[in-house]
Amino acid sequence: MKKILIGVLLLALTVTAFAQQKKEVLPYDALIRSAKIYLGQKDKDYDHVVELLDIAVANYPDPLEAHFYLGLIAAERAEYSVMMDHFRKFEAICSKENMDADKKRAKACQKDDMPKQIRETKEAELSRAFKDGVTQIRLADSVSSVMATAADSSAAAGDTVTVPGDSTKATRADIVKQLLNKGQGLFNECIVIDDTIPGIWTNLALIEKKLGNIDKALEYYQRSYKLNPNDALMVYDLANVYFDQKDYANSARYYGEFGALDKANAEAAFINQAMSYQALGDNASLEKTLDKILEVNPANAEIRYQRGVMYVRNASSPEMRDSAQKIDSLLTVSPKDAALIAARDQMIKSRQDYNTKALADFKQAAETNAKEPLYWYWYGNTAFFLEKQDESLEAYKKCTETDPNFSDCWCQLSLVYARKGMKPEAEDASSKCKDK
């Protein structure tokens, strides 16, 4: 046994001596055997092993074992670009096409389960870097939370901010930035290993957002979205960033997609989408979105109220008023013009339809949340406009019962009482109308 060990060591020493002589190159198998011997030692001399393997790569065709071991060494050193370069070269040499054409090569490629070891090495390094990256984000959030809590406590106690306090805050802010930068580096390592995993790009986007690099964050979110557009949480984050940037067209798009992906949170998603359309002034899309919200939750009184307000605004929109004025002006010149009369009637019908739809929404909103005086007020107003006196009377009475100080309700109620010939009631309501 001792003779065998001595022989192995002599082989390694001999290989070293020959390798150092530039004029003569050892056989490929000898270089690989020597490299494996050094790798098997307790104190590994990676630099020397790399030197031997580089000689093999430089002097022999298809040095698959050399690339394999160079990749493993690079993984140990966390040099992932180098690791992937060697693993890709191994995979190119051992491609299916090459192995199908050369059975001897196929056997060599499968030796020592090298493909499996490569796969497992990449997976292990990717998993390690990803988990460590997530840990850095969580640590940064924890430090940020401590900073926020300390600031709130100081504000609640009426503490003034002192220089030492500022110094502490600055130090913690620096720690947060350092943690995020470290996480960024780890996820960038993941990209080197495999850039097709959506979660890597999502976490990079999150880090960039926390660092205030919004354009970069959006770029990374979009990379993640292209890889997996069905990641609901990522889509929601993307929508929020666009909304914060006042890019309402994109926020509306992605809130809508999030609502379709996450049924449990669809109502909130569509509400945000509605806010985006409202900011854009896109009433047609806003109406459709409000309809979707009420399909998800018919009992949402606030949305019913908002849709009612939208209908009222549509009925009295500047476009509607301008058209009505033009038609009325033309009718003064041609009072019997059939086309103008038809247009006027259609205009009146459109306004009537909007107000009728508004009435239904205001009524249901008020009945769903009877404690909100504003709902009763607008229910009364719309009924009053549509000349539904009994409905408007009851709605205004409910409004004053809910909020006795709601002056506008008393003002409107006095008008309804007057129209119905109820003089004492009208006078009493009028006395409580501050705008009389």
Give the model's confidence band at 169: pLDDT under 50 very low, under 70 low, under 90 confident, else very high.
Answer: low
Integer Cα distance of 231 and 225 in angstroms: 8
- Lowest mean pLDDT segment, chosen from 90-99, 160-169, 258-267: 160-169
Whether 402 and 370 have beta carbons less than 8 Å apart is answered as yes
Question: Does the pLDDT at position 1 exceed 90?
Answer: no
> Would you say the C-alpha torsion 289, 292, 297, 303 has a positive or negative sign?
positive
- The CATH code for residues 2-109 is 1.25.40
- Lowest mean pLDDT segment, chosen from 7-11, 179-183, 210-214, 309-313: 7-11
Look over the chain and give the mean of its residue pLDDT values, rounded to a whole number: 89
Backbone φ, ψ for residue 161 (5° rounding): -80, 120
pLDDT of amino acid 435: 65
Helices (H), 283-336: 283-296, 301-315, 318-333
Q: Which amino acid is at 343?
A: A
Nearest to 48 by CA among 64, 34, 63: 34
Mean pLDDT of 354-365: 96
pLDDT of amino acid 214: 98
Domain regions of the chain by residue span: 2-109
Whether 369 and 329 have beta carbons less than 8 Å apart is answered as no
pLDDT of amino acid 325: 85
Nearest to 274 by CA among 294, 241, 378, 358: 294
* Tokens 């003034």, located at residue: 160
pLDDT of amino acid 7: 45
* Tokens 């050193």, located at residue: 77
pLDDT of amino acid 157: 46
Give the model's confidence band at 316: pLDDT under 50 very low, under 70 low, under 90 confident, else very high.
Answer: confident
DSSP state of 281: T
pLDDT of amino acid 9: 43
Question: Does the pLDDT at position 412 exceed 70?
Answer: yes
What is the reported pTM?
0.79
Whether 119 and 75 have beta carbons less than 8 Å apart is answered as no
pLDDT of amino acid 195: 97
Give the model's confidence band at 324: pLDDT under 50 very low, under 70 low, under 90 confident, else very high.
Answer: confident
